[in-house]
Amino acid sequence: MHTGWKTGLWITLLGLMLLAGCGQPAVTSSSSSGQEMNIRIAYNLPAEHSTGVYFEVLAREIAKNTEQTSLKLVPQVFPNAQLFNDQQLPDAVSTAAVEIGQLNVGFLAGPEAEPLRIVDLPFLFPSWEAEWESEDGEMGRIFDQQLDKFNMKLIGWAPYGTVEFYANKPIKLPTDLKGLKMRGFGQGSSLLLQELEAAPVSMSSQEIYQAMQHGTIDGFSTGPSSVIDRGLYEVTKYGTNMKLSFLSFQAVANKDWWEGLPEDVQKAIVEASRVAQKASRDKAKADSEVYLQKLSENGVEVYNLTPEERELWLEAVKNRLDEYLEKTGDLGKQLYEAVQKGNQLHPVQ
């Protein structure tokens, strides 16, 4: 079942896994709780980013919460793609090259991944709170069930922030993207760019700076936080503030490793994730206005849509939802209905 989504990066991963230490981590003696286990936690963004805050707090809380459990976990954290980049992390988690990692569903392959691409749909959530309501509710439960097919266990959500378009020319209307070579961050993003008649180019976020610098791409889709944190304002002049999406990454554990943990340790990790999720959500929302100000200070012209222009964008991307529902059947419909429940509780800010 899993052949298609494992083969692409297997050779690269094999070498990295040998360096990182693949398979189940060793359990060693400990003077406090009797046994301890070293675990690896990897993600793709800087430690100070809201996504990074999730994984850093998670590691700290796991260490604290398992001090007196039947097995003490000793996390080793690898931020900012030190071990695996965003394209490699899905296979890294599913093959136990790391025990816990950041997941971008845009880099999952195969039919089982299609329903999960709902988070790639443009303008899916009207507010931060609507996104969080869905993640903590039925949508999150369905994600957990579906990720089981990839040998992953969903343990939480690591908020990224909003996603926008950035380019070497102003982007105001959907037609402004026509013919531009634009970086996408997975299949869902690439499909949207195709819908808007741009030419999508898939690459890791670490590659954007050089690609813009050399003219390999004309623009990219990412968040204000990445433009600032990765210095992308040096190679791009124009951006949007349309809140194309509110995005979270999934924090996932290798399923085999998770199922081998004692129950009290699993509960300790779940509680650690709850604390980490709250801290990172608070930071993501608070940082959103800060990053917009920093974009302006660094010379990026950010365009705010008029209500009429927003309607043009909504019309231009509506086929993405229709195609998603047609491709994903009953499961996609269940996910979309779950999202709508959250949206009704937390409408536009």
| CA-to-CA separations, 30 to 35, 71, 347, in angstroms, rounded | 5, 9, 51
Query: What is the pLDDT confidence band of residue 185, given thresholds at 50, 70 and 90?
Result: confident
56 in Cβ contact with 79 (< 8 Å): yes
What is the pLDDT of the chain when averaged over all its residues?
Answer: 90
Q: Is the pLDDT of residue 208 over 90?
A: yes
Q: What percentage of the chain exceeds 70 in pLDDT?
A: 90
pLDDT of residue 19: 42
pLDDT of residue 149: 97
Taking alpha carbons only, the member of 17, 1, 147 closest to residue 88 is 17
Query: What is the pLDDT confidence band of residue 204, given thresholds at 50, 70 and 90?
Result: confident
Contacts of 68 (CB under 8 A, 6+ apart): 32, 33
Query: What is the pLDDT confidence band of residue 203, given thresholds at 50, 70 and 90?
Result: confident
41 in Cβ contact with 58 (< 8 Å): yes
Q: What percentage of the chain exceeds 90 in pLDDT?
A: 82
Phi and psi for 297 in degrees, rounded to 5?
A: -65, -25
Q: Which 3 state secondary structure label does DSSP give 240?
A: strand
Q: Which 3 state secondary structure label does DSSP give 154?
A: strand
The enclosing H or E element of 254 equals strand 245-254
Q: Which 3 state secondary structure label does DSSP give 30?
A: strand
Query: What is the pLDDT confidence band of residue 347, given thresholds at 50, 70 and 90?
Result: confident
Mean pLDDT of 25-40: 72
Mean pLDDT of 166-193: 92
Q: For the whole model, what pTM was predicted?
A: 0.85
